[in-house]
Amino acid sequence: MTYLDDRANLRGKVAVVTGGAGGLGWPIVRDFMKAGVQVALCDRDAAAIEAIASEMQSASVKTLLRLADVRDSVAMDAFFQEIDREFGRIDILVNVPGGGFVAPLLETRPKGWQAVASQNFFYVLDTTQQAARRMIAQGQGGSIIYITSIEAHRGVPNRAIYGSMKAAVAHLAKTLAMEFHADGIRVNCIAPDIFPTPNSGGSAFDPQSPQGKLERTISVPMGRYGEGDDLTGCVLFLASDLASYVTGATLHVDGGTYASSGWFNWPDQGWMNTPTQEIVDMLASASKQQEGSSSTSRAGADSA
Ligand SMILES: NC(=O)c1ccc[n+]([C@@H]2O[C@H](COP(=O)([O-])OP(=O)(O)OC[C@H]3O[C@@H](n4cnc5c(N)ncnc54)[C@H](O)[C@@H]3O)[C@@H](O)[C@H]2O)c1
């Protein structure tokens, strides 16, 4: 065992990863397995589960893979009971699922609010109860990690419910850090910004295209979008004893976008917190042209 293995003290522990088969979940699971951590994962995507099944089964650590939706508390109960039977303990919980729709608040309905709240917040309460009760009974503490978002920490037009629910999770972590400290359970968040995944929408541009490269340089201080390892290193850290005095915290894993909030690195002009003169002129002339063409077509219609 190396010095760092010893300090981290992760080998042999049992991690539960919800939403672990795809997106940002799978790199987390894969890194846990490489670090000698046993993993139980659930995911609602049957194809994603099938795609990783053989790698999970041939891992050098014990694993469990189940098709289940985190919003279904009966399915979660069955999943945690199976973990009891297979592993007999839980040391780490990572909650990955999240997401929502894009619409101005005034165009949304209670059914949509409920769906986004379930997908981002209510299931977190459920899985946290399931894991924390077991950690407390075991008497050896544990680490709970929530994947939130930069949107928990800034306004997010047209995604009000998503942003509010992510903010609720960040708040929950702070409160539970206090409620659980006596039992040695730490609760922390990781707040990503842009990590292209199949479901994240991402950019309109191909990342390899000149437009894609320019977009990243302008909007991300580190000049690139996140990749799996950028996130998983932070999960390993928070799960491990290296983070033994870290609780109720959020790690912003975003290449600096939260720090730069509103500042852009424009080519030639450098950092500005407003659009460049060139862009403003370009947009102004485009809108003038549009006005011109709509008044021409109105005049055409009047004379017809
Ligand atoms: N990808 C990004 O750019 C980004 C940015 C900020 C925040 N986040 C947050 O990070 C987390 C992961 O993002 P992602 O892009 O990997 O998302 P994703 O939609 O790909 O989800 C990750 C995994 O969770 C599974 N999953 C989703 N909903 C589930 C449910 N209800 N029950 C069980 N499994 C479910 C998916 O099948 C997938 O395998 C989310 O909470 C998201 O809000 C992502």
What is the CATH number for 120?
Answer: 3.40.50.720
Protein residue with least CA distance to atom 13, ligand 1: 24
The first and second tokens of residue 109, run together, are: 């309905």
146 flagged as catalytic: no
Whether 296 and 260 map to the same domain: the answer is no
Q: Which residues line ligand 1 (CB under 6 A)?
A: 19, 21-25, 43-45, 48, 69-71, 96-99, 119, 147, 149, 192-195, 197, 199-200
Whether 265 and 123 map to the same domain: the answer is yes
Q: Which residue has the tokens 């960040």?
A: 170
Whether 39 and 121 map to the same domain: the answer is yes
Rg of the Cα trace of the chain?
23
Of 162, 225, 245, 258, the active-site residue reads: 162
Q: Are 218 and 174 in contact (CB under 8 A)?
A: no
The first and second tokens of residue 128, run together, are: 């946290």
Question: How far, in Å, from the CA of 57 to the mean position of ligand 1?
Answer: 23
Whether 46 and 142 map to the same domain: the answer is yes
CA distance 273 to 296: 37
Whether 154 and 127 map to the same domain: the answer is yes
Whether 288 and 219 map to the same domain: the answer is no
Beta bridge partners of 264: 272
What's the structural domain count of the chain?
A: 2
Whether 12 and 71 map to the same domain: the answer is yes
> How does pLDDT run across 96-144, given as a tens digit for each residue?
999 999 999 999 999 999 999 999 999 999 999 999 999 999 999 999 9
> How does pLDDT run across 246-304, given as a tens digit for each residue?
999 999 999 999 999 999 999 989 999 999 999 999 999 998 898 888 776 666 554 44
Whether 160 and 294 map to the same domain: the answer is no
Whether 118 and 257 map to the same domain: the answer is yes
The percent of residues above 70 in pLDDT, for the chain, comes to 96
> How does pLDDT run across 9-60, given as a tens digit for each residue?
999 999 999 999 999 999 999 999 999 999 999 999 999 999 999 999 999 9
Protein residue with least CA distance to atom 19, ligand 1: 199
Whether 299 and 178 map to the same domain: the answer is no
Whether 195 and 290 map to the same domain: the answer is no
Whether 188 and 244 map to the same domain: the answer is yes
Tell me which residue range forms the domain holding 302. 276-304
* Mutation choice for ligand 1 from 165, 197, 231, CB with most ligand atoms inside 8 A: 197
Q: Which residue has the tokens 């409160």?
A: 175
What is the pTM assigned to this prediction? 0.95
The first and second tokens of residue 49, run together, are: 């589960």
The first and second tokens of residue 112, run together, are: 């949509």
Q: Are 158 and 104 in contact (CB under 8 A)?
A: yes
